[in-house]
Amino acid sequence: FADEASPDIDGQIVAMKRNELQGVEIRGVDGQNISDISLEKAKEVKEKFDKAGLIVWSIGSPIGKIDIDGDISAHFEKLRHTLEIANILGAKNIRLFSFYIPNDKNPDDYTDKVVELVKRMTEICKSYGVNACHENEKGIYGDTAERCLDIHKNIPELSAVFDPANFVQCGEDTLKAW
């Protein structure tokens, strides 16, 4: 995530070049999340990266970081927009999440709904030629190793992003989770 070096694209490019990095998982663009930029802005970013000899290998999206009982159809439109951005940037991967579960509810009661929604997201990604990658994250359905495993057993075409710090925040043994 080059946005941790600078919120603006020009600063990110400088940091990447300084550190001899060729590719980025793009998340922040000039103070906006990658999923919120226009297609025109994505084309500008692509041009800057091309001139710098850099690539975007993945999209660090917030897709799936909404309440599972929220406006899913609007969120899926945001996914499609983000995938258009991915195609403009040449990114072959996108990071996704498995929805916030209400605090007063048992996440296991939402397994079928999560699997259905994440599977639909994965299929939409595939239709754009982009690989869907699920990240474990505190507070979402897939915040424990057991539930992440359940997601991946039900959706084998879904790739995984392993974030050990997120498992630590959830009290998980990261070695066992691995």
Q: What is the pLDDT of residues 35-47, one digit of tens each?
A: 999 999 999 999 9
pLDDT for 1 beyond 90 = no
What is the pTM (predicted TM-score) of this model?
A: 0.94
Beta bridge partners of 131: 93
Taking the mean position of all CA atoms in its chain, how far away is CA 67? 16
C-alpha dihedral sign at 9, 15, 21, 22: positive
Phi and psi at 16, nearest 5°, equal -65, -45
What is the C-alpha to C-alpha distance for residues 62 and 145, in angstroms, rounded to an integer? 20
Average pLDDT of the residues in 55-77:
96
CA distance to 16, 52, 98, per residue, from 140 (Å): 31, 37, 6
Quick one: DSSP state of residue 161? Answer: E
Q: Are 22 and 53 in contact (CB under 8 A)?
A: yes
Tens-digit pLDDT profile for residues 17-29: 999 999 999 999 9
What is the C-alpha to C-alpha distance for residues 85 and 83, in angstroms, rounded to an integer? 5
